[in-house]
Amino acid sequence: MKTKITTKLKLAFFGIAFLAAGAVNAQTTTGDIAQQANAGLNTSGTAVKLVDNKGTIKYIQAVNGLTSFTNTTPNGGVITTWQLGGTLTSDTYITAASDGSAEFALDGLELVTDATTASTDATTRSSNGTGTGFTVLLRNEATGAVQKMLLSDLLQVDGIRLEYTQSDAGGGTPDGSGNATADVAITVTGLPTLTALTTAAKLFVYRNGVKLRFGTDFAVVADTVTITYSAAELPMYNGDVIEIQYIK
């Protein structure tokens, strides 16, 4: 079968060389890759049979992220074209130079101007799903895999808000009038242990609308905020309201 190598084939070869450059434990470079079926008209993912100038039969085929297609209506000969794009069949890595002398980038990407038209359940570019929204690509540092998550989840601000009212049934060993006589421990499910110089800035505790001081007016351990009782400086009277806000 007469085969012409097109400009796209040359680009595909360039892409293969580019993808292979700097790769570690990536594309197959040892052992054997199974031969695909011989190319025929209107076929994809097949092998093109060639004969070199010594009469040796050889095959060229596209795998691991490349696609080949043999024309259905040849004009002056059968043309098989190799194209960038396809299914990855093995792990593939591209390594950019650590000194910044080589970069990997994509030009011509579409600018997002309407955040309501994208789909969150799309699996391919040609099948854009039914939902709306955006996803972002992330790198899993444990495995190195590229994964995606919803943009709304990435930007989501989650937190905890709780109100506690001092009473006879409350904490702090209440006296006969419901006033506390000792430190008042308040359960805040989901609250982590906080550090004064870092994560403590995410926690706000108020007594009757007045902000209390971290480490002075209250202490924190996992799932608990404890109001530091002081009859002179920080009493807890019956009906006092403690509001706790934590931003994750």
pLDDT at 37 over 70: yes
Q: Above 90 in pLDDT, residue 105?
A: no
The pLDDT of residue 14 is 39
pLDDT of residue 13: 37
What residues contact 156, with CB distance under 8 A and at least 6 apart? Answer: none
Instruction: Report the alpha-carbon distance of residue 70 to residue 72 in Å, rounded.
Output: 7
Q: What is the pLDDT of residue 117?
A: 57
Q: Is the pLDDT of residue 80 over 60?
A: yes
HEC-encoded secondary structure of the chain: CCEEECHHHHHHHHHHHHHHCCCCCCCCCCCCCCCCCECCCCEECCEEEEECCCCCEEEECCCCCEEEEECCCCCCCEEEEEEECCCCCCCCCCCCCCCCCCCCCCCCCCCCCCCCCCCCCCCCCCCCCCCCCCEEEEECCCCCCEEEEEHHHHHCCCEEEEEEECCCCCCCCCCCCCCCCCCEEEECCCCCCCCCCCHHHHEEEEECCEECCECCCEEEECCEEEECCECCCECCCCCCEEEEEEEC
Taking residues 36-62, what's their average pLDDT? Answer: 90
Q: Average model confidence (pLDDT) for the chain?
A: 81
Q: What is the pLDDT of residues 144-169, one digit of tens each?
A: 777 877 777 777 778 999 999 999 99
Q: Answer yes or no: pTM beyond 0.85.
A: no
The stretch 4-20 carries a mean pLDDT of 39
**pLDDT average, residue stretch 20-35:** 65
Residue 168 has, within 13 A of its CA and on its CB side, a CA count of 2
Distance in angstroms (rounded) separating the CA atoms of residues 200 and 194: 5
Sign, Cα dihedral of 97, 98, 103, 106: positive
- Domain assignments of the chain as residue spans, ordered by start: 3-84, 118-155, 159-247
